[in-house]
Amino acid sequence: MPEAPLLADLIVHHRATPGALLPLLHAVQDAFGHIPSEAVPAIAEALNLSRAEVHGVITYYHHFRQWPAGRHVVQVCQAESCQACGSRALTAAAERIFGCALGQTRADGAVTLEAVYCLGLCAQSPAVQVDERLHARVSEAKLARIAQQLGVQEVAA
């Protein structure tokens, strides 16, 4: 793995922390964009865990990725408050605008479209997060503008 020295640094930095696995996995994902499968044996060995245990934690939490995301990550809130303000229609619009089904990464790698359950913007529903930037009261038109600003080209249906 070309990033092995960086991974080793992260392990050294976190291994003595009580309950180190989550902080370490966050650090790895922050550094690499996902948790590469090649990193799992080293993490397991450093924390005296089995690889199965580490794998079990990675797959349990929605936040952790085993594969790289698209260049842009678009998360549309699906929770009740956003539903009350039209998030189901907005999700359908997002799938159309970004040319990508919920939970998928587009073939050209431009966008990953994800469900998220509550961004804490419930009084200004529906809410969307694009690349860690929050947007409140999102309409279909606003979403199309965001796509344009990101330079995401529409794909032919």
Q: Count CA within 13 A, CB hemisphere, residue 64.
A: 21
- Judged by CB, which is closer to other proteins: 123, or 157? 123
DSSP run (H or E) holding 76: strand 72-77
DSSP run (H or E) holding 128: strand 128-130
Among 42, 122, 144, 150, binds other proteins (CB under 8 A): 122
Among 42, 116, 144, 150, binds other proteins (CB under 8 A): 116
Among 118, 140, 144, 145, binds other proteins (CB under 8 A): 118
Binding-residue pattern over the window 65 to 94 for other proteins, x denoting contact by CB under 8 A: --------------xxxxxxx---------
3-state secondary structure (DSSP) of residue 74: strand
Stretch that binds other proteins, among 5-13, 20-28, 66-74, 145-153 (CB under 8 A): 20-28
Distance CA 63, CA 58 (A): 9
